[in-house]
Amino acid sequence: MYVLALLALVLALTGLSACSGSDERAATQNPGVVRVAGGLISGTEVDGVRAYLGIPYVAPPVGDLRWRPPQAPASWEGVRTCVRYGPSCPQPQGDGLSLFPLGETDEDCLYLNVWTPAGGATGGSDGAAEAAGDGAAGQGDDGAAGRTAAALPVMVWIHGGGFSTGSGSLDVYSGMDLARLGAVVITINYRLGPLGFLAHPELSREDPSGVSGNYGLLDQIAALRWVRDNVAAFGGDPENVTVFGESAGGMSICDLMVSPPAEGLFGRAIVQSAPFDSHGSRMEAVRPLDEAEAIGRELSRRLGGDEAPDELAALRAVPVGRLLRAAERTVPRGPGGLGFVPVVDGVVLPADPAALFAAGELHDVDLLVGANADEANLFLLGMRGATAAQLTTYVRRLYEPDDDTVLELFPDEQYGSRKAALSKAVTVMGFIAPARFAAASVAEAGGAAYLYHFARRPPAVGDLGAFHGLEIPYVFGNPVLVLDVTGGVDGELSRAMMRYWVSFARDGDPNAASGADEQGDAALPSWPAYDPETDRCLILDTEVEPAPAPYPEACDLADRLREERVLEASR
């Protein structure tokens, strides 16, 4: 039972399983009515936080809207009750990756969720309360309608899952505790896999921009535009938006930091464990448009669309389950691998994000970024039973033709076993080095950057250590199965991280949370701004402390290899 519970914890953290979204604490239904694009909505209130779940931010991307940019949502009459999560995007099921059902999935999946302090929802500025009748938000006993309190920072979460799985509606992402610290927290769904990232020559021809493939990123941009236009109704400041995300969510944020359509939609970013510059066997973070279109043609061939009189009409009529099965055969995903990914199309992504970061061609965005000490242990868990030779072959393929140079830095005897050494190599080269690179790029471009290294290895997770995704419960303050982040050492670390994260979102400086807080938590150590010359970070462990950034030699190697790749690609 312990092993199953632990495995469930691992998979839940990586966005592969979900719970019902219910809260067993007493909830007050319809505590506040606000007006958003589309009409009036109501939510629930629990312990001083209002939650609005399942808000449609664009039109359902179904039928003829499959593989089209997001469209404006339809309006509704009356007050829409937003107390349940909307469906998640369809994704692979029954492949051994999930111990729990994801919940309802549907192509009609473009919903978001909002948590705000009970005093935050204003009822809107256009008479939402009056339109809703007596008892609407802003007319209740909290006096929200006439409140003149300062607007709150906004934190928008983009979930991970390799661009193929996951949902913004998992309980581990509940924004309740972050909202209690004084932020409006929003989680979003976006299109995944072939629904979100299929390119095809015919799709490019029908698009006014002449490109295709980045529908998932366009969904994220549409959600940020919705936030800009609607968050004031929840007490949020549309001029103070921070995007934060993990894994593919963090990779998405790095893409948005160089995407022209996303410019100005957020001013700060928190990127957790994001290999946004990855390049290797089944680990391409982005693909050129021509390669992505070739994959799209192959998928169409598998589905018989290439023989239809109207290829796009035929593909849009394919049942989603059949589409997903064909996609998995067209672009197989290995452990930790990627399938359909964002596309360098010259419009949404003008070039490889890693090259743009290196050149300093970034939006004016401050950055908090880091990775975990044992990221790759999760992926090697998916290769249980593999021999040392098989694991070596897998890792060598990731880093060829420089695999000998990489593996020389991670000798077996230093890490205790071949598997441990390989895991550390992937962790450092694939996650820790990109985090340092991103921090250095922002700092050199004149922005503020803060680098962290999450090293907590709670006893509950055993030998898995600080694996990929483990920091997420600490960031949100939500316990997950065998991992309790509400008390003891882990509770202290979680509260410290939440204070740092919200402080950065509010002020652009995590150190604004350094003093003792109202709950009696002690003052926090000072977090040094990242400077490539001093190369220092904040260690997040049982002891939180600034220290030299780890693995400098390997990170320097990763920088050199990246520079060579970028230079070669530019020729």
| Cα–Cα distance measured from residue 409 to residue 119, given in angstroms and rounded to the nearest whole number | 54
> If you ran DSSP here, which 8-state letter would residue 184 be given?
E
Find the catalytic residue in 247, 259, 300, 494.
Answer: 247
Find the catalytic residue in 107, 202, 293, 375.
Answer: 375
Exposed/middle/buried for residue 212 (C-beta within 10 Å: 0-12, 13-18, 19+): buried
Residue 98 corresponds to which tokens in the numbers above?
Answer: 């999930």
Of the candidates 171, 132, 190, the residue with the CA atom closest to the CA atom of residue 19: 171
Ramachandran assignment for 276, one of left (phi > 0), alpha (psi -120 to 50 degrees), beta (any other)? alpha
**Residue 440 to residues 171, 447, 532, 550, Cα–Cα distance (Å):** 33, 10, 6, 14
Query: Is 45 noted as a catalytic residue in this protein?
Result: no
> In which element (H, E) is residue 79 found?
strand 79-81
Residue type, 376: A
Query: Is 503 noted as a catalytic residue in this protein?
Result: no
Residue 24 corresponds to which tokens in the numbers above?
Answer: 């067993």
Judged by DSSP in three states, 548 sits in: strand
Contact 94, 105 (CB under 8 A): no
Contact 147, 119 (CB under 8 A): yes
> If you ran DSSP here, which 8-state letter would residue 529 be given?
P
Of the CA atoms within 13 Å of residue 36, those in its CB half-sphere come to: 34
Q: Is the peptide bond before 319 cis (omega within 30 degrees of 0)?
A: no
Say how many C-beta atoms besides its own lie within 10 A of residue 45's C-beta: 19
Of the candidates 131, 115, 124, 136, the residue with the CA atom closest to the CA atom of residue 50: 115
Residue 248 corresponds to which tokens in the numbers above?
Answer: 């593919």
Residue type, 235: G
Query: Is 247 noted as a catalytic residue in this protein?
Result: yes
**Residue 74 to residues 37, 54, 77, Cα–Cα distance (Å):** 9, 14, 10
Phi and psi at 420, nearest 5°, equal -65, -40
Find the catalytic residue in 45, 98, 468, 471.
Answer: 468
Measured at the CA of 337, the angle between CA 434 and CA 112, to 5 degrees, comes to 80
What distance, in Å, lies between the first and last C-alpha atoms of the chain? 55
Active site amino acids = 247, 375, 468
